[in-house]
């Protein structure tokens, strides 16, 4: 097997047993990027020289590190000291952070090798990576289709074996939806479980960083590195972190799963529905107790999300004014400079969301929109709390359809927004969820199964999804490029 095809756990074992060196693995991954990224376009920046230098340093060290020599890709909205961090936006095209994010610092301490920064929808605003300020990433299963978003570059890189694993961020489904479209595993941890320090903010009450991997076990291994309290992030939770791999392999007999009827209604593709129901049936045969439940406020999730997320974006993106850092367009007056910089620096979708958010927060509309959305958010959170009194996990499709064609929805924002209908509620409630491959449709495109858990109970969703993964072969399939 080519080294770049290795799963994270396999690569770790190969390096530990001296069957493979950090340099050999890094060179194999970099060669793979050179061979296929022209088709996939997963990377904004490939850090070839940096990666090889780092791999050589690690190879010469006798230190036993948990991720020693593992080439990973990082979504380009996490700050990496001395390495360009663009958020796939023209306004930050030449921004080089003077500091490291907490997540990437923890990965560095664990011995990882950064092979590149991956493409995303600009400032993580989108569901297809078509909103990148630079180019559209393509789905490795069908390069005429989107990889999903906003972590489309990370998911496509993992699916195309252009890295051993990757890090993404999830504000309304941005890890799970591209993982589903690209046939890989994507975990959104509980809000506060992973530090957001150094993640360029989109919507601060919703953003969360998580792993995109080839297997559930690989996701658990990365969670052991990146999770944990951080004093530099005021929203970081002071909750003890377990060993996320500890429950993998335990049987699921007696665990209870809820199937929300609201997630199996109009708009769900019949082949996606069939694949998800078959997956539930597989788990049922293993002793999982399944019952139908209701999450009655699901229908308000998309509207609620697009008021709260855009309001927070409007506030967070006010800092890009051409004064402190990033793009500056010279003009005759200060006001003109602000206008020109923001007009030329931001793309259409980012401008749309800033305007929506500014409107929702404006005098006379704040109570009608923002305050009301916060109240509905509480109701959505309560739906999950009530459900988790009866069940241990909730199982749903990750997305209503498989990956759509490039350009198919870009001119219809509402259609695009509805694409995240099954993932958004999880962010509003602040709870963890994972997407795992559960089949392919008749066109050979991947389908994702979403497993949702209680706050700070990543262990149970990892246990259930790992058990399912061990019974099936879907995660072993790789696209031909």
**SS3 state at 405:** strand
Looking at residue 13, its pLDDT comes to 97
Active-site residue, 75 included: yes
Which of 286, 290, 205 lies closest to 250, judged by CA? 286
Q: Mean of the pLDDT values across residues 375-388?
A: 98
- For residue 166, what are its two tokens? 């990757």
Looking at residue 452, its pLDDT comes to 98
Which of 226, 112, 111 lies closest to 168, judged by CA? 226
Residue 11: band (very low, low, confident or very high) from pLDDT cuts 50, 70, 90: very high
Q: What is the pLDDT of residues 424-455, one digit of tens each?
A: 999 999 999 999 999 999 999 999 999 999 99
CATH of the domain at 198: 3.90.1300.10
- Calpha distance 391→394 (Å, rounded): 7
- Calpha distance 311→217 (Å, rounded): 36
Active-site residue, 150 included: yes
Looking at residue 183, its pLDDT comes to 98
Say which of 128, 132, 150, 435 is annotated catalytic.
Answer: 150
Is the separation of the CB atoms in 115 and 33 below 8 Å?
yes
Residue 418: band (very low, low, confident or very high) from pLDDT cuts 50, 70, 90: confident
Please determine, for residue 126, whether its predicted confidence score (pLDDT) is greater than 90. yes
Please determine, for residue 324, whether its predicted confidence score (pLDDT) is greater than 90. no
Looking at residue 419, its pLDDT comes to 83
- Calpha distance 332→355 (Å, rounded): 25
Looking at residue 373, its pLDDT comes to 96
- Is 406 contained in some domain? yes
Looking at residue 407, its pLDDT comes to 95
Residue with tokens 């999804």: 465
Which of 115, 83, 117 lies closest to 100, judged by CA? 83
Please determine, for residue 20, whether its predicted confidence score (pLDDT) is greater than 90. yes
Please determine, for residue 260, whether its predicted confidence score (pLDDT) is greater than 90. yes
- Is 353 contained in some domain? no
- Rounded (10°) CA dihedral 456, 459, 461, 465: 160
Looking at residue 413, its pLDDT comes to 82
Residue 417: band (very low, low, confident or very high) from pLDDT cuts 50, 70, 90: confident
Q: Mean of the pLDDT values across residues 162-173?
A: 98
Looking at residue 411, its pLDDT comes to 85
What percent of the chain clears pLDDT 90, i.e. is strictly above it? 93
Looking at residue 110, its pLDDT comes to 98
Residues 6+ apart with CB under 8 A from 226: 103, 106, 107, 167, 194, 209, 211
Residues 6+ apart with CB under 8 A from 87: 76, 77, 120, 122, 123, 124, 200
Helix count and strand count (H, E) for the chain: 15, 11
Say which of 41, 75, 188, 409 is annotated catalytic.
Answer: 75
- Is 100 contained in some domain? yes
Q: What is the DSSP letter of 41?
A: -
Element (H, E) at 166: strand 165-170
- Is 104 contained in some domain? yes
Q: What is the pLDDT of residues 266-279, one digit of tens each?
A: 889 999 999 999 99
**SS3 state at 33:** helix
- Is 347 contained in some domain? no
Q: Mean of the pLDDT values across residues 115-123?
A: 98
Q: What is the pLDDT of residues 137-164, one digit of tens each?
A: 999 999 999 999 999 999 999 999 999 9
Active-site residue, 389 included: no
Residue 294: band (very low, low, confident or very high) from pLDDT cuts 50, 70, 90: very high
Looking at residue 71, its pLDDT comes to 98
Q: What is the pLDDT of residues 354-370, one digit of tens each?
A: 999 999 999 889 989 99
Which domain range does residue 70 map to?
3-254+391-476
Looking at residue 266, its pLDDT comes to 86
Average pLDDT of the chain, as a whole number: 96
Q: Mean of the pLDDT values across residues 16-34?
A: 97
What percent of the chain clears pLDDT 70, i.e. is strictly above it? 100
- Is 264 contained in some domain? no
- For residue 140, what are its two tokens? 């490795």
Say which of 151, 174, 180, 314 is annotated catalytic.
Answer: 174
Q: Mean of the pLDDT values across residues 157-174?
A: 98
- Is 303 contained in some domain? no
Please determine, for residue 416, whether its predicted confidence score (pLDDT) is greater than 90. no
- Is 368 contained in some domain? no
- Calpha distance 145→393 (Å, rounded): 31
- Calpha distance 327→95 (Å, rounded): 8
Q: What is the pLDDT of residues 48-99, one digit of tens each?
A: 999 999 999 999 898 999 999 999 999 999 999 999 999 999 999 999 999 9
State the Cα angle at 452 between 423 and 160, rounded to 5°. Answer: 65
Number of structural domains found in the chain = 1
């Amino acid at each position: 097997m080519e080294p770049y095809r290795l799963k994270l756990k396999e690569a770790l074992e190969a390096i530990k047993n001296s069957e493979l060196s950090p340099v050999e693995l890094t060179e194999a991954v970099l060669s793979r990027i050179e061979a296929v990224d022209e088709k996939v376009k997963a990377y904004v920046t490939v850090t070839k020289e940096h990666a090889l230098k780092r791999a050589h340093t690690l190879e010469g060290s006798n230190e036993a590190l948990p991720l020693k020599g593992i080439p990973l890709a990082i979504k380009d909205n996490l700050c990496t000291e001395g390495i360009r961090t663009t958020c796939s936006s023209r306004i930050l095209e030449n921004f080089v952070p003077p500091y490291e994010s907490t997540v990437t610092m923890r990965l560095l301490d664990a011995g990882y090798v950064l092979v590149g920064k991956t493409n995303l929808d600009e400032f993580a605003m989108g569901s297809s990576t078509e909103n990148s300020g630079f180019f559209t990433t393509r789905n490795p299963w069908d390069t005429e289709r989107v990889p999903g978003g906003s972590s489309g570059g990370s998911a496509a890189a993992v699916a195309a074996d252009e890295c051993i694993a990757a890090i993404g961020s999830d504000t309304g489904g941005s890890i799970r939806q591209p993982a589903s479209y690209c046939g890989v595993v994507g975990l959104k941890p509980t809000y506060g479980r992973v530090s957001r320090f150094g993640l360029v903010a989109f919507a601060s009450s919703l953003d969360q960083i998580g792993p995109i991997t080839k297997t559930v076990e690989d996701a658990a291994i990365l969670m052991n590195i990146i999770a944990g309290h951080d004093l530099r992030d005021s929203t970081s939770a002071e909750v003890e972190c377990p060993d996320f791999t500890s429950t993998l392999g335990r049987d699921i007999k007696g665990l209870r799963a809820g199937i929300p009827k609201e997630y199996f209604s109009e708009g769900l593709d019949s082949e996606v529905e069939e694949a998800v129901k078959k997956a539930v049936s597989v788990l049922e045969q293993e002793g999982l107790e399944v019952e139908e439940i209701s999450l009655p406020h699901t229908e308000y999730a998309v509207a609620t999300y697009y008021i709260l997320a855009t309001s927070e974006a409007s506030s967070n993106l006010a800092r890009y004014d051409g004064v402190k850092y990033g793009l500056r367009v010279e003009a005759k007056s200060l006001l003109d400079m602000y206008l020109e910089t923001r007009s030329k620096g931001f793309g259409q979708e980012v401008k749309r969301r800033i305007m929506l958010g500014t409107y929702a927060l404006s005098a006379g509309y704040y109570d009608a929109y923002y305050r009301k959305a916060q109240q509905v958010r509480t109701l959505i959170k309560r739906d999950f709390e009530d459900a988790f009194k009866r069940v241990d996990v909730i199982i749903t499709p990750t997305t209503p359809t498989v990956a759509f064609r490039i350009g198919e929805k870009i001119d219809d924002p509402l259609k695009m927004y509805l694409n995240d209908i099954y993932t958004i509620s999880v962010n509003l409630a602040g709870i963890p969820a994972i997407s795992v491959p559960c089949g392919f449709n008749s066109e050979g495109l991947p389908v994702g199964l979403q497993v949702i858990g209680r706050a700070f109970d990543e262990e149970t969703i990892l246990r259930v999804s790992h058990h399912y993964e061990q019974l099936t072969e879907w995660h072993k399939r790789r696209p031909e490029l």
